[in-house]
Structure 1
Amino acid sequence: MNDNLTVLDVQDKPPVGKWLALSLQHMFAMFGATILVPQLVGLSPAIALLTSGIATIIFIVVTRFKVPAYLGSSFAFITPIQIATSTGGIGSAMIGSMFVALVYSIVSLVIWRTGSGWIMKILPPVVVGPVIMVIGLAVAPVAVNMASTVKVNGADEYNLLHFSAALVTLAAAIICLMFFKGVVSLMPVLIGITVGYIYSLAIGIVEYEKIFAAKFIEVPEFLLPGIDYEFVITPTLLLIMVPISIVTISEHIGHQLVLGKVVERDFIKDPGLNRSLLGDGLGTFISGMLGGPPKTTYGENIGVMAITRVYSVYVILGAAVFAILFSFNGTLMALISTIPQAVLGGISILLFGIIASSGLRMLVDHKVDFGEQRNLVICSVILVIGIGGASINISETFQVGGMALAAIVGVVLNLILPGRNNSTLADESIE
C-alpha cells in the first residue's frame, strides 16, 4: 500500500467528526439506487435501507473486517421479483431471495473446498455480458411507461406534464455525470431525483400531504415468513429467481476485483472469494427474511473510495449504521413515498440504460470477437430469449422464462459449443 496516496487504510479509524462525515457521504452515495429498487417492485424503501445496513454489517464481519464494501439493493432482481410477485404474491419474491442466498452459500462452500478457477470458466464475459444487457433492456419499457404515463380510471394514459418531470430528472442526472467531478459525479441518482422532485413540486404533481401525517419515528413494515405470507416453495418460483444468481455472482466477483485494484489488495485470496460471497449471501438471506430485496456490492461506494482514498472499513460500518437509523425515520420514508412515478421513471431510463451498456462494455473490454460464430451464437440467443421474454411452460408449477431462461441457456451453450477457451471474468465492474 502506498501510504503517500492513502488517506485512511482499511483498518484505520478516523476521528469521530470526520468519521461521521465520511460515513454520511457513503450512505448518500448508495441511497438513491437502494431506495429506487423497492419503489419499482412494491417493497418498502424503509426495509430496503434497514436491510442494506444489516447486510453490510454481516458482510464486513464475515470477511473479517478486511473488505470495505457496501451492500445495497440489486437491480438484477427487479424483473424476477415483479414476475414472482405477480404469480405468487410478494412473499414468493422473498422466498426466492432466500433461495438465491442459499445458492451463494453453496457456491461459497464449493469455492472454499476447490478454489475459484472453475466458476471463472463457466461464466466468461461472452455469457455474463449479454445477460447483463438483458437486465437493463428487459425493463426498458417499464421505465418509459413510468416516465410518460399516469393512471386514469385504472388505465395508463400519456401525460406530457409528467413526462417533462421525467426529462428534467434525467437531464439533472446526466449533467452530474458529465460535467461534475468528485463525489457529486458519484451521486447522479440522488441528485437527479432531488432536482426532479423540486421541479415536480413547482408544477404541482406531488401529493405531499402524507408527509405531515407521518410520525418522525416509525418502525419499518416487515414482511415475515409464516406471519405476513405463507412459506410455499414451487418449482416456478425457484426457476424465476435462482438462475439470476449466475449474474449476481459474476457481479460480485467483478466488484471484488475492482475494489482490490483500488485498495491494492487481492480480496479473491484474502479473505477469499468464499468469504465475501458468503457474506453477500447471508446479507441477502436476512434481507429476504425481513422483507427486503436481494443485495449486491455497490459500484457507487467503490467509486467514492477511489476518489477520496479513504478505504476504512469502519467508515463503511458507519454508513451501514446511518442507513439503519434513517430507516426508522417515518418522515423521511413518507417523503420518499411522495416521489412522483415520472421522476422514478426518468432516473430509471438512465439507470437501466447504464446497466445494459455495462454489459456491452464488458464485451468490448474483454475483446470478445464476434467474428467467431460461437460468440455470435451465444450472445444472440441470450439477447433474444431474455428481451423477448421466451419461456418454457411444462405445467402450471414448472415455468422458467425471460432473464432466468436466458442465463441458463447462455451457460449451457458456453459449455457445449466447440471452441470454448479458458477466458475468465476479468477485473471490470459490471454493476
Structure 2
Amino acid sequence: MSDKVLDIHERPQAAKWLVLSLQHMFAMFGATILVPTLVDLSPAIALLTSGIATLVFVLVTRFQVPAYLGSSFAFIAPIIAATNSGGIGSAMIGSMFVALVYALVSLIIWKTGYKWIMKILPPVVVGPVIMVIGLGVAPTAVQMASMIEVDGVQMYSLLHFSAALVTLLTSIVCLMFFRGVISLMPVLIGIVVGYLYSWQIGIINFQPIKDADFIQIPEFLIPGVDYEFVITPTLLAIMVPIAIVTISEHIGHQLVLGRVVERDFIKNPGLNRSLLGDGLGTFISGLLGGPPKTTYGENIGVMAITKVYSVYVIIGAAVFAILFSFLGQVMAAITTIPTAVLGGVSILLFGIIASSGLRMLVDHKVDFGEQRNLVIASIILVIGVGGASVHISETFQVGGMALAAIVGVVLNLVLPGRKNDSLMDETE
C-alpha cells in the first residue's frame, strides 16, 4: 500500500478499493458471525444487516464517518435472557427498543449538546460495566470449549477441548506475533484453523453444506409474521439498560476514530448524527432478525494501518457483506463450526472485553484510593457478575448486567464527591 493518506471523500483506484473493502469485511467477519452463532440467530442475517446498517450509518452521518457496524457483544447475555423469557422474537423487540433509546438520546444531544451524557457516563461507571459484560459470559465460553451433549447430558470431552485450544492458540499467535491486517483478524483466522483441525479429528458434520444451495435467501425474522409483537416490562428491563454500555462504546469508538483520521466526529457531523445512525442500523437489524449493532474497532485498526480513511471503502465492505450473506454454502459452513471452536475463540474475546473495561479505568487514571470510586466499581462488579436481580412483580424484573448498569449510573449521580470525569480525554 502507498504511504499516501487517502482522506474520507477520496476514492481509491478500483483494484485498491476492492482489496481494501475485502480487508474491512474480513476484519469484522469473525466477530459479526460469532455473536449470532452464540445466541441462535442466523449468521446470514447478521452479515446482511451489518452491511445494511453500515450503509444507513454512512448516509445518516452525511458520508463523514468511515465506520463499520457489526454485531454487538454487549447483547449476548441479554439476548439469551430475553429469548428464555419470551422466545427469540422478544430479543428482536428488545433490540428495536434499544434503537429507540439511541434515537431519543440523539434528539436530546441535538437540542442540548453532548456534555451531559459525558458526565452521567464517567469511566468509573462504564469501565466496570464493560468488565461485567466479559466476565458474565465467561462460564459460557469455558463450557462451550470443553463440554458436549450426550443423550441430553453435558459431558467433558478432551477431543473437543483440544479443538478449542488450537483455536485459542492460533488467535493468540495472530495477536502477539503478527502485525498488519493479520493481527486485526485473530477471530476469523482462529476459527478457520480450528475448523481445519476439527475436520482432521473428525468432529464436523458436512451434510448441511451439501444440502445448501449456492445462492440462498437468508432466514428473516419478521414481527407479526414469525413472532407476535408483544412488549413486556421484563423484556424492556433486560435489553434497554444495555444502551448505557453501547452508547459509551459508541462514544469511545468515535473518539478513537477521530484521533486516527484527525477529525472531531463528536462535533462534525455530531454525536447526535452518529448515534442516530447506529440506532437506525440496530432498529433495521432487529426488524429483519439480526443482532444489535455497534461500530467496530477492528475496522478502525485497518484504517490506521493502511492510512486509507475513504468512506467509499467502508461502503464497499458493506456491499460485500450483503453479497456474502446470500452465499448459501458459505453460510451453511458457518453452521457446521464445532461449538468447541467457538468456545475457544470466545475465551479470548470475552477476556478481551473484560480487560478493555479495566484498561479504560487505567487510561483515565481512576483513583481507587477514593472510597467513592471503590464503592461504585465494587457494587457494579458484584451485582453484574453475581447475577443479582430485582423482582417488582411477576411481570417485571431486572437483573444482572442491566441492573449493574442502572445502579452504577444512579450511584454516580447520588454519591457525594462527584468530579467532572469524562469519557473524553479532556472536557471542552
TM range (shorter): over 0.9
Partner of 2:172: 174
Separation in structure 2 between the aligned mates of residue 410 and residue 5 of structure 1, nearest angstrom: 45
- Find 1:60's aligned residue among 58, 61, 66: 58
Q: 1:157 and 2:155 equivalent? A: yes
Partner of 2:243: 245
Partner of 1:294: 292
| 1:157-204 superposed Cα distances (whole Å, 9 cap, x missing partner) | 100000000000000000000000000000000000001000000100
- CA displacement at 1:7 relative to structure 2: 2.7
> How many residues are paired up?
425
Whether the aligned pair in 2 keeps the contact of 1:366 and 1:426 (CA below 8 Å) is no
Separation in structure 1 between the aligned mates of residue 297 and residue 4 of structure 2, nearest angstrom: 19
Partner of 1:376: 374
Runs of 4+ deviating beyond 6 Å = none
- CA displacement at 1:6 relative to structure 2: 4.3
Separation in structure 2 between the aligned mates of residue 377 and residue 131 of structure 1, nearest angstrom: 14
Structure 1 runs not aligned, ≥5 long: none
2:16 partner letter: K
Partner of 1:78: 76
Separation in structure 2 between the aligned mates of residue 338 and residue 100 of structure 1, nearest angstrom: 31
Partner of 1:416: 414
- CA displacement at 1:427 relative to structure 2: 5.3
- CA displacement at 1:395 relative to structure 2: 1.5
Partner of 1:30: 28
| 1:271-321 superposed Cα distances (whole Å, 9 cap, x missing partner) | 000000000000000000000000000000000000110100000000000
Counterparts of residues 167-206 of structure 1 (less than 5 Å): 167-206=165-204
Q: What TM-score do the two structures reach when normalised by structure 2?
A: 0.98
- CA displacement at 1:5 relative to structure 2: 5.6
SS at match of 1:151: strand
Counterparts of residues 251-266 of structure 1 (less than 5 Å): 251-266=249-264
Whether the aligned pair in 2 keeps the contact of 1:258 and 1:427 (CA below 8 Å) is no
Q: Percent of aligned positions with the same letter in both sequences?
A: 80
| 1:368-412 superposed Cα distances (whole Å, 9 cap, x missing partner) | 111100000000000000000000012221100000000000000
Counterparts of residues 30-429 of structure 1 (less than 5 Å): 30-426=28-424
- CA displacement at 1:156 relative to structure 2: 1.1
SS at match of 1:184: helix
Whether the aligned pair in 2 keeps the contact of 1:386 and 1:405 (CA below 8 Å) is yes
Give the alignment's Cα RMSD to 1 decimal: 1.0
1:97 partner letter: S
Separation in structure 1 between the aligned mates of residue 339 and residue 210 of structure 2, nearest angstrom: 20
Whether the aligned pair in 2 keeps the contact of 1:254 and 1:427 (CA below 8 Å) is no
1:168 partner letter: V
Separation in structure 1 between the aligned mates of residue 425 and residue 380 of structure 2, nearest angstrom: 23
Whether the aligned pair in 2 keeps the contact of 1:173 and 1:347 (CA below 8 Å) is yes
Separation in structure 1 between the aligned mates of residue 13 and residue 360 of structure 2, nearest angstrom: 39
| 1:66-91 superposed Cα distances (whole Å, 9 cap, x missing partner) | 00000000000000000000010000
Separation in structure 1 between the aligned mates of residue 305 and residue 129 of structure 2, nearest angstrom: 30
- CA displacement at 1:426 relative to structure 2: 2.6
- Find 2:6's aligned residue among 5, 8, 18: 8
SS at match of 1:422: coil
Residue range with higher mean Cα deviation, 150-159 or 85-94: 150-159
SS at match of 2:300: helix
SS at match of 2:36: helix
SS at match of 1:399: strand
Whether the aligned pair in 2 keeps the contact of 1:140 and 1:352 (CA below 8 Å) is yes
